[in-house]
Structure 1
Amino acid sequence: MNNISKLISNRFWTLLVPYFSAGIFSLFFTFLLQYLGRGNVNLNNQLFGILYGNGEWLVNIPVWFLVCLFCSQVVFCFTYKHIQRFNIFFQTLFYLLLGIIGFIISKIIYLPWGLDIALVSQLFLFIGYKFKEHKIIEKRVRLFSSFTILLTVIFMISILINPPVDMNTREYNNIILFYLGGISGSILVLKCCVLISPVRSVVSALKYIGRDSLIILSFHFVFGFITVGLVYYLFFDKYPSWYINWIFSVLISLLIGVGIKKIPILNILFYGKKYEYSRFYNKKIRYKFINFKRSV
């Protein structure tokens, strides 16, 4: 938590490299669609969108999350390093204030790389960090505890009286209700994950999808949604329902992930695994060295 330079180095590979790789892929893919008469691409807008990290210029919309997450983690690491000596009440107030500042900024301007969103997300990161540190979720896994019922009531009230909510487009409405709904909903999801953890088949399936979540995020929108939509339209003369589009887009992304894993350079670009290539490269050098010694 205190080693900011190490965090930046690690997140550069795991978040920024896949982000720019997905952005460049999206650029080429949309140009291909234009060549086939299926789109109208503005190169300047696309390049600006990739560099800016969010907004209407970003073609592959879901990948905004990667650069925003990078900013969020760097800001949290830097700020927590300096306030961890204070009590939890001060820390909570500090991150709530950062979130309100981000909320106010978003009403004026959308900052590059979703930095204003990153400020709003700090309270979530702080609470998640504290929950993990004190293992709070594991201590409260009863399905019908008063704590769970209270969380459910808060979550239902917040989503009923404070819609719509979309962090990418900076739709928060009432910021307090936004936080109450986001925190209660996140805790409920975590509790559900703990409760289903004994079911091995479900856990295995979720783990498999989770390992490829970066690939799904990178490919399901531009490649999956557009490709599935166009193919479906060619056969049925209409666009598919959202659930058909979603299912096939995820499946296509998972298949792409299988191919990417077999090619070291693509592993670096889309999975951000910088060490995979170094191991592969060193293995080749050792192999050549051993063969050289044998030949001598």
Structure 2
Amino acid sequence: MRFSPSFLDDIRDRVPISDVIGRRVTWDRKKSQPGKGDFWACCPFHSEKSPSFHCEDQKGRYHCFGCGVSGDHFRFLVEAEGMSFPEAVERMAGEAGLALPERDAAAEKRDEQRSTILDALKLSAEFFAGVLQEADGAKARAYLRDRGLNPATQKMFGLGYAPDSRNRLKEFLSGRGVGKAEVEASGMVVHGEGIAVSYDRFRDRVMFPISDAQERIIAFGGRALSSEISAKYLNSPETDVFHKGATLFNIARARRAAKAAGTLVVVEGYMDTIALHQAGFENVVAPLGTALTDRQLELLWRNAAEPILCFDGDNAG
């Protein structure tokens, strides 16, 4: 049976990986920080005297700095207990209180399409980041510099620049083997009835990749550099992988930091979030140009008991 990525993610979110691994190892009390979901132990896969096996609940991953093994909940059960992957999923689904899904050929096809869309979005992020460093990106680099964002911060958030062209991204993706249907499904081009030839959606904009809780790029936000463009900020359209009202900018990084900070702070926009992160406040997220939705509130409460709202002091805030 093929399990959808969303089903596997749901299991990972519900069961801390330290609970799974902790049945087979003894956590080192000196190095481990249970309050932060950060654990160390002697590796169960090779003999050692000092703990080099690291496990992080927020990432749902383990890694041994001694022998190099790494993986997630399912990989651990496969390697440590000799289970098959389906057996590991069945075990973990039971612990998570989830019923195994029925086989659905249509759902499997949708999952394959989602993977292709994610590939296209990842390539798009690489394209935008590359153009930012070219001559065409000089204006965008100046904008980011004027906003006080240093190069390290720009790289951390994967910032980029969409050139003022109708087809550079489309041609780049085509050259990387992404088909026309997948490019359209990713939301990176404008297409449809009455449009003879699709064209790049984002043009002459500073680009902000939007990632999900698993750190996969699922969309983009673009900030116009020309004052003549009416829409200063433009988000990707709704797609199979992106639902604006259910997403928070920077949620993957912020929820890790929320363990230590004890809360999440919600601000209005990308730049607010990034500037605060650069200043040392890493537990900050932002909605995507919308009023805070019920699904965004649910995501906040899932990661912080009492999130703090810190919006602008104007009517919109």
> Structure 1-normalised TM-score?
0.27
Larger RCO (CA within 8 A; separation ≥ 6): 1
The structure in which a higher percent of residues are strand is: 2
The structure in which a higher percent of residues are helix is: 1
